[in-house]
Amino acid sequence: MSMHLNAFLLGVGHHEAAWRHPLTDSARVTDVRHYEELARIAERGRLDSLFLADGLALSGDVRYNALGGLEPLTLLSALAAVTEHIGLIATVSTTYNEPFHVARKFASLDHISGGRAGWNIVTSAGEAEARNFGLERPAHSLRYHRAEEFVEVALALWDSWKADAVRNDRAGGRYADPAAPIDHTGQHFRVKGPLNIQRSPQSRPLLVQAGSSEDGKEFAARFADAVFTAQQTLGDAQEFYADLKRRLPAYGRRPDELKVLPGISPIIGVTERDARRLERELDGLTIPAYGLRQLSTILGLDLTGHPLDGPLPEVPLDTDGQQSRVRLIRDLSVREGLTIREIINRLAGGRGHRVVAGTPGQIADQMQEWYENGAADGFNIMPPYLPGGLADFVDLVVPELRERGLFRSEYDGRTLRERYGLSLVEAHS
């Protein structure tokens, strides 16, 4: 058994000041060769997969961060062509898309990659995203209802071609048995089907989800093969892990059919002092006005005018926003008594995900502790700067994990689903 490691790629790094650091080249955020290099590094480390987050509007102020990079499905299709083994997980929203398009594009990516496609299903919490589609942002629960029906339709479309449909009988003049219409009629969608692309190697992509709200957890328990989550402490992570796994039997699923991957942003140094220095350098490059604006957006609360070195004011839980992220920030503020500036610095490293600065051994220790104590089936690796931060993880931390018998040395399994220890979907026939 190997833990699962996913490389979460984001421009020139997860630290919001990465673009200003001499270890990065921020002209590369729209350069496909940058991402090809990252994919090759991740594959060299035998990581399970790489992952691209996404939003349908700019996610921050371009004055202060290197935003405006490539679209996930097009980028991952390009990376599929230059890699062999690594899984390719794209974020696509169910709120501003049509299931026919999305099911088809993932089937296409799955064919192109030889069975390495994954879909991180999001419901798009942002106001700015709605306005790019002429809509008001739907309420949280409505977004999840739509997401459920969306995935049901996609699953039906992926099953519309039987596994043995293609006969390819050239002499007899019979190419395939007809795919079946799905004739879906629901609250949000009417879709006739069948899909106009043949069944792909995995039948369906790996399904990933990252919401931690009550709706999000139920959705994950029903549909997800893997969950990305932001957890700051071992206790919180254990609670989240157990909570999710407990929900699976109600959907006829075994606990090991869903893998939980907390995020971790490893700041790696040969010595602990090196790691701390790098962390200080990065934090020193953050732009407070930017951090304050990002924090205000996440909380749905304008913090302009609040003293940076004072405490965070009382924050209401906006049920239409990023509930789980708001709760996490409130907990940080209360548990550790942080000032607004300290919270901004903490978020700058990993936007609420855990930042761990230390030697490769210390980072491996932390990962081992969570992995062996019911807090994680693996990790979502969020290098603070790229590509160097990923290269250091692969070249320094991964060998530590291997020595401890925690991580694979070679790829096994043909598809991404197999790599995550999931059975291939049985084709109806």
Q: Of 131-160, which residues contact its own copies (CB under 8 A)?
A: 131-134
Of 136 and 410, CB closest to its own copies: 136
Q: Which residues inside 79-98 make contact with its own copies, applying CB under 8 A?
A: 79-82, 96-98
For residues 208 and 121, what is the distance between their CA atoms, to the nearest angstrom?
6
Stretch that binds its own copies, among 186-194, 238-246, 402-410, 411-419 (CB under 8 A): 186-194
DSSP 164: T
354, 359, 375, 390: which is closest to 263 by C-alpha? 354
Of 69 and 262, CB closest to its own copies: 69
Q: Which residues inside 292-321 make contact with its own copies, applying CB under 8 A?
A: none
Binding mask 102-131 for its own copies (x = CB under 8 A): --xx-xxx-xx---------------x--x
Structure tokens given for 343? 């919270």
**Binding of residue 405 to its own copies (CB under 8 A):** no
For residues 232 and 351, what is the distance between their CA atoms, to the nearest angstrom?
11
The 10 Å CB-count burial string (b at 16+, else e) for 3-29 is bbbbbbbbbbbbbbbbbbbebbeeebb
Of 157 and 221, CB closest to its own copies: 157
Under 8 Å between Cβ of 183 and 193:
yes
**Binding of residue 56 to its own copies (CB under 8 A):** yes
- What minimum distance in Å lies between the beta carbon of 290 and its own copies? 9
Q: Which of residues 1, 57, 139, 250 is near its own copies by CB under 8 A?
A: 57
- What minimum distance in Å lies between the beta carbon of 185 and its own copies? 8
**Binding of residue 161 to its own copies (CB under 8 A):** yes
# binding residues, its own copies (CB under 8 A):
77
Structure tokens given for 269? 């140094």
Q: What is the dihedral of CA 357, 362, 365, 366, to 10 degrees?
A: -10
Q: Which residues inside 192-211 make contact with its own copies, applying CB under 8 A?
A: 192-198, 200
For residues 359 and 225, what is the distance between their CA atoms, to the nearest angstrom?
32
Under 8 Å between Cβ of 300 and 326:
yes
C-beta atoms surrounding 135 within 10 Å: 11
- What minimum distance in Å lies between the beta carbon of 20 and its own copies? 5
- What minimum distance in Å lies between the beta carbon of 56 and its own copies? 7
Q: Phi then psi for 18, rounded to 5 degrees?
A: -55, -40
Q: Which residues inside 60-79 make contact with its own copies, applying CB under 8 A?
A: 61-71, 73-75, 77-79
Structure tokens given for 84? 């062999």
Q: Which of residues 177, 331, 336, 412 is near its own copies by CB under 8 A?
A: 177
